A and B are shown apart, each in its own frame.
Chain A
C-alpha cells in the first residue's frame, strides 16, 4: 500500500493536472467518435464525464486506458506526453479502469481478481509467467485492502461467480485501488445497482479520491454528479460542449448541454 501513501504526498504538493488529454480525435470508419476533445484532471479531484449514449464518453476513456488508440491528439501524464498502446501500458503508467462490464473473472476468488495480471511472485529474475505465486502475501494484502475500504464479503475463498451485483461492483472498484497510483476511471459504476448498493459504491469512489487519485467518473445520474464531482465535462456527438462546476442550481443547465437543447 506504499503507492497510496506517496500519492497523498503528491496531492498536497502539486496542483498541475496529473492527466491531460489534448485534442483527442478518434474515428471508427466514417464515424467520428471523438472530435478534438481536451480534458484535464488533478490529484484528489473527481471529474464527472457526462453525455448521452454515443456521445463519446466510453471511447474517450477507452483511449486513456489503452483499449483504443487515438487517431490524433496527445495524452499527458504529469505533463509528459505518454504513448498508451495497450491496457498493460495504461496500468503500468498508473491508470486503473473500472469497466462498465466490471471485467471480473467469475472463476477466480476476489483476491485472485485483485492481483490478476499483477500477481505477487518470485524470483524477480525469472520471466513474469514463470515466477511462483506468493499466495499468502496476496491473501493478506487482500484482507487489508478490503478492511481499509470497509468492504466485507461473505467468503474470500469463494469464486466471484457466487457473489451479488453489489459485491461484484465493490470488488471491481476495490481492485482499481490496489495499483492505482495516478488516475482511476469508473464507467457507470452504479448503473446496475439498487439505491443502497449505489451509495456504498459512491463511498468507495470518494475513498479513491481521498487517497489522492485523480478520478474520472462516467455516470448518467445528475444527483451523483452534483454530490461528488468537482468539475463536469459534457460531451455531445464526440465534441466537448461544456465544462462547469456542478451545483444544485446548474443541474438543469448540465442536462440541457447533454441533450443539446
Chain B
C-alpha cells in the first residue's frame, strides 16, 4: 500500500506550486500570532503612551504602586484562570476574600499567632472553594455560575454577620509587613504573587494534573471517555481558586492592617476581566497563567493612568467594560481564523 499508506500530508501537497502554499496560510498565521501576542503588545503600547502623557507614570514609585495595587487581583485572577480553563466561573472570590479576612481578624483577636492567622485565612478560602467544587460536581448542578453565586451571597452575609458589619482593625505585624516595602522598592505582596505564580506555573505545565485541566476544558465528555477523573479535576480548580482568594485576603489584610466584610467588592468581575483581557479563552481549554497576570496588570495600569490623568472614577468602569468587549471579540476572531486555517489545511492536502 505504498501509494495509500500515508494519511495527512501527502504527495498532493508537494505537487502544489510553492507560491500558493506560501500565500495560503502565512496571512492567517500572522493574524493568529498577532492575536496571541495582542495583550502584551497592547500593554507595552499603553505604557509607552502613558509615559508621555504623565511624567509621573514611569517613576519607580508609581510602578511599584501599580504592582502593590494589583497584587490581590493578580493572585485571585490566577485561581479564576484555572476555573475558566475548565469552562467554569467562580463568582464567589470577592466575598470569599471578605470572609477570609474577617475570620483571620477574629482569630488574631482571639490570640492566634501570625502563622495560624495566615493558615486560617487561606484555609477559609480553600473551604469555600471546596464547597463550590463539591456542590457543582456532586450536586450535579448544570453550571458553576449557580453555586458560586450562592456562596457569593452566603460568604458575604457571613462576613457581615461575624464582623457586625464593620471592619476589624489589627493584624499581626508579619502580615502587615506584606504591605510595606520589602526589597528593591517593591512591597512584600509582590513576592507573594510571584511565589504563587511560580508554584501554579509548575503545577499547570509539568504535572499530569495540569494536562488534565486543559483536557477537561477542551472537551469534558471526551475527558470522561479517556478515563480522566473529571470530577476531581473540577473540584481541585475550585479549591485552588478559593485558596488564591484566601491568599488575596492575607495580602489585603496586610495592606490595610484590618479584616473587613467590605473587602473584595466586585473582585469577581475584576478577576474575570483580567483573565479575559489577558487573552485566555472564555470557551475553556485555552490560555496560561501569564494571561491572568498580564490582564491584572493591564487593569491596574488603566486604573492608575486614569487616576493620574484626573479622569472621573465612574469613567474607569466604562473603560474596563469596553476593554472586556474588545478582548472577548478578539477571542471570537481567533476561533474564526483557526477555523479558516483548518479549511486551508484540508484544501491543501486533497
Inside 8 A of A116's CB, which chain B residues have their CB? 211, 215, 222-223, 226, 228
A-contacting 9-mer, from B134-142, B174-182, B305-313, B341-349? B341-349
Q: Given contacts A105-B222, A105-B285, is CB(A167)–CB(B208) below 8 Å?
A: no
CB–CB B211/A200 < 8 A: no
Cα A107 to Cα B221 in complex, Å, equals 14
Q: Within A114-137, which residues are at the interface with B (CB < 8 Å)?
A: 116-119, 121, 128-133
Residue of A nearest to B339 (CB): A161
Could you name 25 residue pairs across A and B whose Cβ atoms are closer than 8 Å? A86-B227, A87-B224, A87-B225, A87-B226, A92-B227, A103-B221, A103-B222, A105-B215, A105-B223, A107-B285, A116-B222, A116-B226, A118-B226, A119-B208, A129-B208, A129-B209, A129-B233, A130-B207, A131-B208, A133-B207, A152-B6, A152-B8, A167-B345, A196-B4, A199-B4
Residue of A nearest to B233 (CB): A129
Q: Given contacts A87-B226, A131-B208, A161-B338, is CB(A154)–CB(B345) below 8 Å?
A: yes
Cα A112 to Cα B7 in complex, Å, equals 19
Interface size, A (range) = 35 or more
Q: Distance in Å from the Cβ of B232 to the closest Cβ of chain A?
A: 7
Cα A152 to Cα B9 in complex, Å, equals 6
Inside 8 A of A194's CB, which chain B residues have their CB? 350
Q: Distance in Å from the Cβ of B4 to the closest Cβ of chain A?
A: 5
Cα A150 to Cα B349 in complex, Å, equals 16
Q: Distance in Å from the Cβ of A199 to the closest Cβ of chain B?
A: 5
Among candidates A91, A103, A200, A203, residue contacting B219 with C-beta atoms closer than 8 Å: A103
Residue B218 is within 8 A (CB to CB) of chain A in the complex: yes
Residue of A nearest to B284 (CB): A107
Q: Which residues of B contact A (CB under 8 A)?
A: 1, 4-10, 206-212, 214-215, 217-219, 221-229, 232-233, 236, 285-286, 338, 341-342, 345-346, 349-350
Residue of B nearest to A135 (CB): B206
Q: Which of B7, B206, B233 has the most CB of A within 10 A?
A: B7
Residue A142 is within 8 A (CB to CB) of chain B in the complex: no
Among candidates A130, A161, A170, residue contacting B7 with C-beta atoms closer than 8 Å: A170
Q: Given contacts A150-B5, A150-B6, A194-B350, is CB(A162)–CB(B341) below 8 Å?
A: yes
Cα A104 to Cα B342 in complex, Å, equals 15
Residue A164 is within 8 A (CB to CB) of chain B in the complex: yes
CB–CB B232/A129 < 8 A: yes
CB–CB B7/A152 < 8 A: yes
Inside 8 A of A88's CB, which chain B residues have their CB? 227, 229
Inside 8 A of A242's CB, which chain B residues have their CB? none
Residue of B nearest to A170 (CB): B7
Q: Given contacts A107-B218, A117-B223, A129-B232, is CB(A165)–CB(B286) below 8 Å?
A: no
Residue A204 is within 8 A (CB to CB) of chain B in the complex: yes
Q: Distance in Å from the Cβ of B218 to the closest Cβ of chain A?
A: 4
Q: Distance in Å from the Cβ of A161 to the closest Cβ of chain B?
A: 6
- Chain A, residues 77-107, CB within 8 Å of chain B (1/0): the string is 0000000001110011000010100011111
CB–CB B228/A117 < 8 A: yes
Q: Within A51-91, which residues are at the interface with B (CB < 8 Å)?
A: 65, 67, 86-88, 91
Q: Given contacts A97-B225, A112-B211, A128-B208, is CB(A197)–CB(B219) below 8 Å?
A: no
Q: Within A152-196, which residues are at the interface with B (CB < 8 Å)?
A: 152-154, 161-167, 169-170, 194, 196
CB–CB A164/B218 < 8 A: no
Closest 6 CB pairs of A and B: A88-B227, A117-B226, A164-B346, A103-B222, A107-B218, A170-B7
Among candidates A67, A132, A197, residue contacting B207 with C-beta atoms closer than 8 Å: A132
Inside 8 A of B207's CB, which chain A residues have their CB? 121, 129-133
Q: Given contacts A112-B211, A129-B209, is CB(A197)–CB(B7) below 8 Å?
A: yes
Q: Given contacts A131-B208, A161-B342, A162-B338, is CB(A204)–CB(B7) below 8 Å?
A: yes
Inside 8 A of A119's CB, which chain B residues have their CB? 208, 211
Q: Distance in Å from the Cβ of A109 to the closest Cβ of chain B?
A: 11
Q: Distance in Å from the Cβ of B97 to the closest Cβ of chain A?
A: 27
Q: Within A178-232, which residues are at the interface with B (CB < 8 Å)?
A: 194, 196-197, 199-201, 203-204
Cα A201 to Cα B8 in complex, Å, equals 11
Residue A108 is within 8 A (CB to CB) of chain B in the complex: yes
Residue A151 is within 8 A (CB to CB) of chain B in the complex: yes
